[in-house]
């Protein structure tokens, strides 16, 4: 790569980094799994920029009933989304106003059971993902699929061979695209992990329930058997003899 | 030098407003992080207190700190420390599983809260996101392109670790599932046998009772 190419690449990366913090710095997306005690409500606040999009995905991964009330409240106090007793949901909010959006989870309807809730907030800047996908027109949104991944690796290898005609993108842009796609893969892994955690908790609950009710059932059977025999014997007591 | 400029800008833009929540005085908020082993987690938080005069949230004064407690999947405490009004805690997991991060305020001066709430901005970075690339670039003297490739390698490493952990979890899930299946089958058989045995015992007992009473 010539000096000028390197400088151009640096400028591109610079502009990319100015627009987003996803190049080297921390991601703006947050994901949390927290414990929501019974009868309580927890709210989280996220600052949203205008003309961007905010995607909120939540899932209840533990707790009897596995459901929770979900609300998103705009900075002005308007309730944008209200969901009652749902176990999971995905919502895309397009902020009309700048400010702090309130994301609330309410477990008030449940008296004894504590819920574990996983939620994820993905913030995208203006015009969709920062960094853009226009270097590969025709390739769809990053879906973490291996096809688009290998397409990019292929393009990098072509650039190495100095075949300028085929190398339409600079390595810098390719790196950014790769980074974005890997991030998307990681986000999907997080969601899959939440699903698996929910299923695992459900299964362990089932196992405990099977054991408990089996023991209870056997105890009840034994008690009933003894009571039956005792009752029948009492019927034939000496005081009240049945005539033969 | 251009790279240094980029890094500085990144650090600046990294301090965008993260998620925040309100915490009461004796309240304890717990977050769960399910991570594979040998993964580093960095948590950053800063607190703000409601100032009634200015009617907005101002950075909390000294003396108001947060107590951070981290438990590993076996319920063993791996980090238990008090930090100031702004803090950063780090730990590395040694066993894969659900780690619990609990925060509560340690205010000894009750009047500071004045019945209000403390606003806590929290940001938790897991695995590759916890790396400080400026430091890595300086230490290994990498060019910008080399650093980007390094970052991609770390990302793929993290994804691979997650997948290995996923495979381990799926195996345990399958074991639990088979255990449940066996238990259901076993208990059904045992219950049927108990029922039959009880029936036989009842009949024999009553028969001998009636014979003793000379009713049969």
**A60 in a domain, yes or no?**
yes
- Neighbour order of strands in the sheet with A115-124: A88-93, A53-62, A115-124, A30-36, B28-35, B97-105, B66-71, B77-83
Give yes or no: residues B147 and B157 share one domain: yes
SS (H, E, C) B63-129: CCCEEEEEECCCCCEEEEEEECCEEEEEEECCCCEEEEEEEEECCCCHHHHCCCCEEEEEEEEEHHH
Name the minimum distance, in Å, from the CA of B91 to any CA of chain A.
17
Asked whether residue B142 carries a pLDDT value surpassing 90, the answer given is no
B30 touches chain A (CB under 8 A): yes
Q: Given this model, what pLDDT does residue A90 score?
A: 93
User: Which of B11, B148, B177 faces A25 most closely, judged by CB atoms?
Assistant: B11
**A175 in a domain, yes or no?**
no
Out of A110-114, B112-116, B207-211, pick the least confident: B112-116
**B116 in a domain, yes or no?**
yes
Helix, strand, or coil here: B161?
A: helix
Give yes or no: residues B37 and B115 share one domain: yes
Asked if the Cβ–Cβ distance from B184 to A210 is below 8 Å, we say: yes
**B36 in a domain, yes or no?**
yes
- Closest residue of B to A33, CA-based? B32
pLDDT digits (tens, 9 = 90+) for A39-75: 999 999 998 887 788 899 999 999 888 999 999 999 8
- Closest residue of B to A104, CA-based? B21
Name the minimum distance, in Å, from the CA of A45 to any CA of chain B.
5
Q: Taken in order A198, A199, A204, A210, is the CA torsion positive or negative? A: positive
**A82 in a domain, yes or no?**
yes
From chain B, pick out residues whose CB is under 8 angstroms from the CB of A221. 191, 194-195, 198
CA-nearest of B90, B4, B57, B28 to A14 is: B4
From chain A, pick out residues whose CB is under 8 angstroms from the CB of B2. 10, 14
From chain B, pick out residues whose CB is under 8 angstroms from the CB of A14. 2, 5-6, 9
Helix, strand, or coil here: B154?
A: helix
Domain boundary among B131, B163, B193: B131
Alpha helices, DSSP H, located in A114-170: 146-160
Out of B78-92, B129-143, B156-170, pick the least confident: B129-143
Q: Residue B82's domain is classified under what CATH number? A: 2.60.120.380
Asked if the Cβ–Cβ distance from B33 to A33 is below 8 Å, we say: yes
**A5 in a domain, yes or no?**
no
Domain boundary among B131, B152, B185: B131
Name the minimum distance, in Å, from the CA of B62 to any CA of chain A.
24
Is the backbone of residue B97 left (phi > 0), alpha (psi -120 to 50) or beta?
left
Q: Given this model, what pLDDT does residue B113 score?
A: 56
**A98 in a domain, yes or no?**
yes
Asked whether residue A165 carries a pLDDT value surpassing 70, the answer given is no
In a 10 Å sphere around its CB, with 0-12 CB exposed, 13-18 middle and 19+ buried, how is residue B120 labelled?
Answer: buried
Structural domain span for residue A95: 28-124
Give yes or no: residues B29 and B127 share one domain: yes
Q: Given this model, what pLDDT does residue B160 score?
A: 93
Q: Residue A120's domain is classified under what CATH number? A: 2.60.120.680
Domain boundary among A124, A140, A175: A124
- Residue A116: partners with Cβ closer than 8 Å, 6 or more residues away: A33, A34, A35, A36, A60, A61, A62, A63, A201, B32
Domain boundary among B131, B153, B172: B131
Domain boundary among A71, A104, A124: A124
CA-nearest of B149, B134, B6, B133 to A10 is: B6
Q: Taken in order B107, B110, B111, B114, is the CA torsion positive or negative? A: positive
Give yes or no: residues B127 and B190 share one domain: no
**B3 in a domain, yes or no?**
no
pLDDT digits (tens, 9 = 90+) for B193-207: 999 999 999 999 989
User: Which of B5, B7, B187 faces A24 most closely, judged by CB atoms?
Assistant: B7
Q: Given this model, what pLDDT does residue A96 score?
A: 83
**B81 in a domain, yes or no?**
yes
From chain A, pick out residues whose CB is under 8 angstroms from the CB of B213. 236
Give yes or no: residues B89 and B160 share one domain: no
CA-nearest of B39, B22, B23, B31 to B101 is: B31
**A222 in a domain, yes or no?**
yes
First and final C-alpha spacing in chain A: 114
Distance CA A149, CA A168 (A): 17
Give yes or no: residues A117 and A192 share one domain: no
State the pLDDT confidence band at B131, using cuts at 50, 70 and 90: confident
Distance CA A65, CA A63 (A): 6
State the pLDDT confidence band at A227, using cuts at 50, 70 and 90: very high
For the segment B36-41, the average pLDDT, to the nearest whole number, is 91
Taking a C-beta distance cutoff of 8 angstroms, is the pair B47, B118 a contact? yes
**B2 in a domain, yes or no?**
no
From chain A, pick out residues whose CB is under 8 angstroms from the CB of B184. 210
Distance CA A143, CA A155 (A): 18
From chain B, pick out residues whose CB is under 8 angstroms from the CB of A204. 176
Give yes or no: residues B116 and B205 share one domain: no
CA distances from B173 to A140, A191, B166 (A): 34, 17, 10
Give yes or no: residues B114 and B142 share one domain: no
**A81 in a domain, yes or no?**
yes
Domain boundary among A124, A150, A167: A124
**B53 in a domain, yes or no?**
yes
Asked if the Cβ–Cβ distance from A229 to B13 is below 8 Å, we say: no
Q: Given this model, what pLDDT does residue B116 score?
A: 67
Distance CA A129, CA B179 (A): 45
Please state the domain count of chain B. 2
Taking a C-beta distance cutoff of 8 angstroms, is the pair A101, A54 a contact? yes
**Single pTM value for the model:** 0.75
B200 touches chain A (CB under 8 A): no
Q: Given this model, what pLDDT does residue B85 score?
A: 83
Give yes or no: residues B24 and B90 share one domain: yes
Asked whether residue A166 carries a pLDDT value surpassing 80, the answer given is no
For the segment A214-218, the average pLDDT, to the nearest whole number, is 92
pLDDT digits (tens, 9 = 90+) for B2-13: 444 444 444 433
Name the minimum distance, in Å, from the CA of A137 to any CA of chain B.
23
Q: Taken in order A113, A114, A118, A119, is the CA torsion positive or negative? A: positive
Give yes or no: residues B27 and B126 share one domain: yes
Give yes or no: residues B85 and B136 share one domain: no
User: Which of A47, A179, A186 faces B151 most closely, judged by CB atoms?
Assistant: A179
Asked if the Cβ–Cβ distance from A9 to B145 is below 8 Å, we say: yes
- Closest residue of A to B134, CA-based? A24
**B8 in a domain, yes or no?**
no
Give yes or no: residues B103 and B148 share one domain: no
Q: Given this model, what pLDDT does residue A150 score?
A: 67
Asked whether residue A22 carries a pLDDT value surpassing 70, the answer given is no
Q: Given this model, what pLDDT does residue A136 score?
A: 42
Share of chain A above pLDDT 70, in %: 68
Asked whether residue A148 carries a pLDDT value surpassing 70, the answer given is no
- Closest residue of B to A209, CA-based? B180
**A2 in a domain, yes or no?**
no
Please state the domain count of chain A. 2
Out of A31-35, A197-201, A234-238, B122-126, pick the least confident: A234-238
B29 touches chain A (CB under 8 A): yes
Structural domain span for residue B142: 132-215
Asked if the Cβ–Cβ distance from B166 to A229 is below 8 Å, we say: no
Out of A18-27, A176-185, B109-118, B119-128, pick the least confident: A18-27
User: Which of A32, A196, A214 faces B31 most closely, judged by CB atoms?
Assistant: A32
Give yes or no: residues B101 and B136 share one domain: no
What are the DSSP calls for A76-105, one per residue? TS-EEEEEEEESEEEEEE--SS-EEEEEEE
User: Which of B10, B170, B213 faces A21 most closely, judged by CB atoms?
Assistant: B10
**B14 in a domain, yes or no?**
no
């Amino acid at each position: 790569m010539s000096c000028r190419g390197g400088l151009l690449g640096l400028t591109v990366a610079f502009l990319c980094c100015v627009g987003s913090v996803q190049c080297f710095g921390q991601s703006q997306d947050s994901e949390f799994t927290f414990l929501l005690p019974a009868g309580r409500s927890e709210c989280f606040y996220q600052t949203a920029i205008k003309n961007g999009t905010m995607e909120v995905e939540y899932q209840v991964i533990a707790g009897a009933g596995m459901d929770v009330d979900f609300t998103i409240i705009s900075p002005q106090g308007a309730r944008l989304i209200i969901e009652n007793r749902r176990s999971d949901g995905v919502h895309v909010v397009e902020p009309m106003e700048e400010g702090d959006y309130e994301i609330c989870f309410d477990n008030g309807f449940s008296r004894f059971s504590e819920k574990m809730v996983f939620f994820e907030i993905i913030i995208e800047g203006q015009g969709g993902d920062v960094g853009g996908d226009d270097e590969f027109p025709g390739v769809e949104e990053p879906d973490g699929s291996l096809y688009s991944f290998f397409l990019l690796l292929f393009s990098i290898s072509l650039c190495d061979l100095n075949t300028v005609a085929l190398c339409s993108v600079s390595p810098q842009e390719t790196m950014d695209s790769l980074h974005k796609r890997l991030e998307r893969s990681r986000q999907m892994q997080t969601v899959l992990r939440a699903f698996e955690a929910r299923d695992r908790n459900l299964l362990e609950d089932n196992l405990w329930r099977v054991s408990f009710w089996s023991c209870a059932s056997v105890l009840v059977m034994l008690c009933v058997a003894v009571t039956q025999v005792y009752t029948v014997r009492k019927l034939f007591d000496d005081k009240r003899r049945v005539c033969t | 030098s251009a790279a240094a400029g980029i890094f500085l800008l990144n650090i600046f833009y990294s301090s965008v407003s993260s998620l925040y929540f309100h915490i009461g005085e004796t309240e304890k908020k717990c977050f769960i992080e399910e991570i594979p082993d040998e993964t580093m987690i960095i948590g950053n938080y800063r607190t703000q207190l409601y100032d009634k005069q200015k009617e907005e949230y101002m950075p909390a004064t000294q003396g108001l700190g947060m107590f951070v407690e981290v438990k590993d999947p076996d319920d063993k405490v791996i980090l238990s420390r008090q930090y100031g009004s702004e803090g950063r805690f780090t730990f590395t997991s040694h066993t894969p599983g659900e780690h619990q991060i609990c925060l509560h305020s340690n205010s000894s001066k009750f009047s500071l809260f004045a019945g209000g709430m403390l606003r806590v901005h929290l940001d938790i970075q897991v695995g590759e996101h916890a790396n400080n690339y400026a430091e890595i670039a300086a230490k290994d003297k990498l060019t910008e392109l080399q650093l980007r490739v390094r970052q991609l390698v770390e990302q793929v490493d993290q994804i691979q670790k997650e997948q290995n952990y996923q495979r381990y979890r799926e195996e345990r899930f399958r074991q639990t599932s088979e255990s449940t299946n066996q238990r259901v089958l076993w208990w059904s058989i045992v219950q049927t046998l108990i029922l039959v045995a009880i029936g036989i015992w009842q009949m024999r007992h009553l028969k001998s009772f009636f014979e003793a009473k000379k009713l049969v």
